[in-house]
Amino acid sequence: MNSSTHTPNPFPSGPIKLVIASRESALAMWQARFIQRRLETLYPSTSVEILGMTTTGDQILDIPLAKVGGKGLFVKELESALADGRADLAVHSMKDVPMNLPEGFMLVATGEREDPRDAFVSNDFLSLEDLPAGSVVGTSSLRRQSQLQARLPHLKIESLRGNLQTRLRKLDEGQYAAIILAAAGLIRLGLSNRIRSEISPKQSIPAVGQGALGIEICSHRTDLLTILAPLNHPDTQVCVEAERAMSRALAGSCTVPLGAYAVCEDGQILITGFVASVDGAQMLVETATGSKQEADALGKTLAQKLRAKGADQILALLDHA
């Protein structure tokens, strides 16, 4: 092989063993195995194992996440495994990672983003626009619900919980006319044939971090920083950093209908974000552009622009709902 076309691994010596903490859902395990293969390729002499775990978020399936503690329920058990030394790193879907990590933990890498869009999944209809009035659409996301209600108020939105296979089964059983899922999960599990149509980010602004993988470690594990650095995709990392900064500045969680999506173009970050009421009656959308070096500040700037439009009033109403 021509050495000019092959970049040598800058960190040839890996540890003897690495353990990855992961949720046990099919999608989470796909993500963990993907990172496992990356690490085994980078460090052939390193043994890389996966510690599968069931989280509180996986166990509570009959109540909307917004009412039982939010997306942090998907990561707490994994963080416990990091803290007590059972695992060295945890792999997350970035959209499931709380905006503020607990003391003692850090995100050390953000993997390259898969398709960030929401996907329309139905056995009988080709797109959202084809659904008759009163059709039941399933989603677990207030973000999706608010945007759907704003654009297509004649549809009926009902909560949909469970892992990806469970959600597809409920659709196939006829409980919903259609469901909305993240395209990335379907693609990663080889189920892209279930996607009837992708919903453009202009019509459904994605969740913060949607489609990206995050690697979390304990802050004191500085020995892992160099080892895990090759897993980071710089453009995805700064885009997700900007999105998370916007959400953090607006106290974003799954109890708040908001979303943000950033892309890198010509060395700049272009980010679009929104805040809405759950019923979609109030919908604020703004954009901001800035340098890759100022991703965090750019997200905060976007939050300020939304505040100037009245985001605080919407958030205050949500707090008292």
Catalytic residue list: 96
Closest CA to 139 of 113, 176, 103, 106: 176
Q: What CA–CA distance (Å, rounded) separates 150 from 132?
A: 16
The strand pairing partners of 263, in sequence order, are: 270
Closest CA to 95 of 251, 272, 250, 259: 259
What would the two tokens of residue 49 be? 């194992």
Structural contact between residues 154 and 134, judged by C-beta atoms closer than 8 angstroms: yes
Q: What is the DSSP letter of 175?
A: S
Q: What CA–CA distance (Å, rounded) separates 208 from 19?
A: 27
What would the two tokens of residue 257 be? 């209908």
Q: What CA–CA distance (Å, rounded) separates 204 from 302?
A: 18
Q: What CA–CA distance (Å, rounded) separates 221 from 225?
A: 7
